């Protein structure tokens, strides 16, 4: 199982590639809505990509109130 830091790094790479943002501009504690300049529909697209990448199923209710990349990683780690 990957470490939390490895999961965060994978999420940051995936987000950077998906939304054409330089990876160097993203940090674990950034608000992904602001940093990626995305809306809630795009956030759901990101969640779907993360589910596919990590081969986990993540209920939407687990992500209510989660806005940081670290928060996403913590939820994913709980499912690995």
The torsion angles phi and psi of 68, rounded to 5 degrees, stand at: -105, 155
pTM of the model: 0.93
Task: Give CA–CA dist 34/61, Å, rounded.
Answer: 21
Looking up residue 69, the CATH number of its domain turns out to be 1.10.1200.10
Q: State which residues form the domain around 55.
A: 4-79
- Over residues 27-73, the pLDDT tens digits come to 999 999 999 999 989 999 999 999 999 999 988 888 888 999 999 99
Per the structure, the count of domains in the chain is 1
CA R_g for the chain: 11
CA distances from 51 to 13, 47, 57, 67 (A): 15, 6, 6, 17
């Amino acid at each position: 199982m990957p470490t939390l830091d490895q999961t965060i790094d994978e999420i940051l790479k995936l987000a950077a590639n998906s939304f054409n943002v330089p990876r160097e501009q993203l940090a674990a504690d950034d608000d992904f809505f602001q940093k990626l300049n995305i809306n809630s529909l795009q956030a759901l697209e990101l969640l779907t990509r993360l589910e596919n990448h990590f081969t986990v199923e993540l209920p939407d209710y687990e992500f209510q109130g989660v806005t940081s990349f670290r928060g996403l990683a913590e939820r994913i780690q709980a499912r690995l």
